[in-house]
């Protein structure tokens, strides 16, 4: 049986439960709990922090804050264009590439767009 092709534009990206975007002053961070066994040893014996903080640029923070489980990629692009513009016509390509990178780390879940 052939696989059904899925259009990424119709997919709804969602950050996984344990991840959150935190603002500290003018900087935004993606905060990730360190929970694999080796990291737990490092936390306990080497006094490492229990969370990793990934520094986000303005655009990355903007996108991750809007992953609410309701908006699909096309709707996120509209929000992005309203905030940052699209002079070069590449905003969708940049948005999709950013989401692919975040997904490659296993930080996203994808939901299908509800059928009307």
Domain segments of the chain: what residues?
A: 8-112
Assigned token pair, 52: 């990793």
Q: How confident is the model at residue 1 (pLDDT cuts 50, 70, 90)?
A: low
29-68 pLDDT, tens digit each = 999 998 888 888 888 898 889 899 999 999 999 999 999 9
- What's the confidence (pLDDT) of residue 116? 58
CATH for the 8-112 domain, from 3.90.930.60, 3.30.390.50, 3.30.230.30, 3.40.50.1820: 3.90.930.60
The pLDDT, as a whole number, for residue 99 is 96
Buried b (16+ CB within 10 A) or exposed e, 69-91: eebbbeebbeebeeeeeeeeeeb
Q: State residue 3's pLDDT score.
A: 72
Q: What is the pLDDT of residue 40?
A: 86
Indicate the pairing of strand 27-33 with strand 20-24.
Answer: antiparallel
pTM: 0.85
pLDDT of residue 24: 94
**pLDDT reported for residue 26:** 92
Which candidate, 19, 29, 7, 23, places its Cα nearest to that of 67?
Answer: 19
Closest alpha carbon to 54 in 26, 32, 24, 39? 32
Measured CA to CA, the distance from residue 6 to residue 85 in angstroms comes to: 27
C-alpha–C-alpha distance, residues 26 and 30, integer Å? 14
């Amino acid at each position: 049986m052939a696989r059904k092709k899925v259009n990424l534009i119709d997919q709804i990206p969602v950050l996984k439960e344990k991840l959150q975007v935190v603002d500290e002053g003018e900087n935004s961070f993606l905060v990730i709990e360190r929970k694999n066994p080796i990291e737990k040893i490092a936390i306990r014996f080497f006094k490492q922090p229990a969370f990793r903080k990934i520094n986000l640029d303005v655009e990355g923070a903007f996108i991750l804050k809007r992953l609410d489980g309701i908006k699909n990629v096309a709707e996120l692009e509209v929000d992005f264009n309203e905030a940052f513009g699209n002079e070069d016509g590449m905003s969708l390509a940049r948005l999709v590439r950013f989401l692919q990178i975040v997904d490659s780390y296993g930080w996203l879940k994808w939901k299908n767009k509800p059928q009307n």
